[in-house]
Amino acid sequence: MSARRAALLLMTLTSASLAGCSSDLGAAGGAPTFHADVEPLLQRSCLGCHTPGGVAPFSLARYDDAKRVAGLIAKVTRERTMPPWGAFETDECRPRHGWEADLRLSDEEVATIDAWSAGGALEGERAPSPAHLAPGSAELRGAQLELAPEAPFVAAGESDQFRCFVLDPKLSDTRYLNGWSFLVGNPEIVHHALVFLDARGDSEALAGPDGSYDCFGGPRIEGGVVAAWAPGSLPFDGEPHIGAALPAGARLVMQVHYHPAGATAAPDMTRFQMRFTPSRPEYEMLFALLGNYSRQFANGDGLQPGPADERGATFRIPADARDHVEAMRFTLPATMNGQPTPDLHVHSIGAHMHYAGIDVKMDIEHASGAPGQETEECLLQVPSWDLTWQRLYRYAAAVEDLPRVAPGDALKVRCTYDNSLDNPHLLAALRERRSASPVDVLLGETALDEMCLARIAFVYRAR
């Protein structure tokens, strides 16, 4: 991973007010200046990475730093490639809530940066600046427990490797996880990581002397996903009244997908940080991965048939295909684990695709809408997919106002792909394959296959 791509991995978020940021512009009657107009924007949306010692390749913390790259700042903000953000409103998707810690610049703010660059990148009068945050960090705020594999892992060769590490949090009673973070040891080769709950401790019998085992296709235990990481992810920082139950004596299994791409990589020692609620929370949390279905099920869920599918629903992205669509569907059942399924609220949502992906959209289809509720509700669209920025987007709303999924409602994921040489991400994959032209891409586990996946943190009232 290049330094530029690494700079996308972590951004420190803040909801600092912009009130008064441009007040001196009109009064001065001239071009915008750094201290009065541009510095506050950088403080809010850029300095999480672009500070001395930060993950970005250069700093923007001082006027001289910013002036040297004024033209570049104007270009990337005008093109909306910086600050990195994927959740945009479109003609077909307008979620009814905004997003927590939204990094985006408004059209007016982009125009201010553009005018500052075009006007000579003036410094202006130095004034007290809003306090900026420390460089972006993967560290979880208030972390109480950090778990690590017993030994580092060295990935090598042409094939992707999936390794499961058994982690023992040594819980003597049920605890409720409301914050987590993955501290990735070697981001050059870690494609993604998942943590599964092993309530019965079955993974102990699967692990070798070093506490790990091969697990291509899954961890071979019954528990569901507790947490997930992909490039661009930030620490999950839940509210104090929300938590996911981890029973006493449970083990956690961290599955790490390694993509060595023909090399012998430096050892990886990815760690997992955790924080718990002080007592049983008002709302419990359920983390789910929905999608990646290889066929259509009897009830109509699963992979949806496409217009080019000849023998039922088939996941295949033909070589040179542009705007190719694959769709997934999941209906919330009436019961789960033998108990009536509660109404779920969508707390945070994200997506996962690979190199050919260009657009992803997620919706709820309500079986019986409440008064005033639309039958179809868009949850998220990422119209310019970037696999280096795969964050979870969190709604800026109280739990009771979050999008609601009731039994019988369907969650739908629509993934769009460009499997042609017009897709710059695909070009990188083809270089890795040592191939000059695209090939058909199928659903699969490796980085050079494709996926269509929704990542959703649901919350529901504790029983």
On whether the CB atoms of residues 196 and 253 are closer than 8 A, the answer is: yes
* CB contact at 8 A, 164 and 253: yes
The Cα 198–Cα 5 span in angstroms is 34
Q: How far apart are the first and last CA of the chain?
A: 45
- What is the DSSP code string of 422-433? T-HHHHHHHHHH
Question: Would you report the helix, strand and coil content of the chain in percent, each value rounded to 5?
Answer: 15, 30, 55
Residues whose CB falls within 8 Å of the CB of residue 32, separated by 6 or more in sequence, listed in order: 22, 25, 38, 112, 113, 115, 116, 119, 122
List the pLDDT tens digit at each of the 463 positions of the chain.
Answer: 333 333 332 222 222 222 233 334 433 457 899 999 999 999 888 887 788 866 678 999 899 999 999 999 999 999 998 998 999 999 999 999 999 989 899 999 999 999 999 999 999 988 665 554 444 568 899 999 999 999 999 999 989 999 999 999 999 999 999 999 999 999 999 999 999 999 999 999 999 999 999 999 999 999 999 999 998 888 999 999 999 999 999 999 999 999 998 889 999 999 999 999 999 999 999 999 999 999 999 999 999 999 889 889 999 999 999 999 999 999 999 998 889 999 999 999 999 999 999 999 999 999 986 666 678 999 999 999 999 889 999 999 999 999 999 999 999 999 999 999 999 999 989 988 889 999 999 999 999 999 999 999 999 999 8
Q: Which two tokens stand for residue 258?
A: 């390694």
From 227, 241, 257, select the one nearest 348 (Cα to Cα): 227
Q: How many residues does the chain have?
A: 463
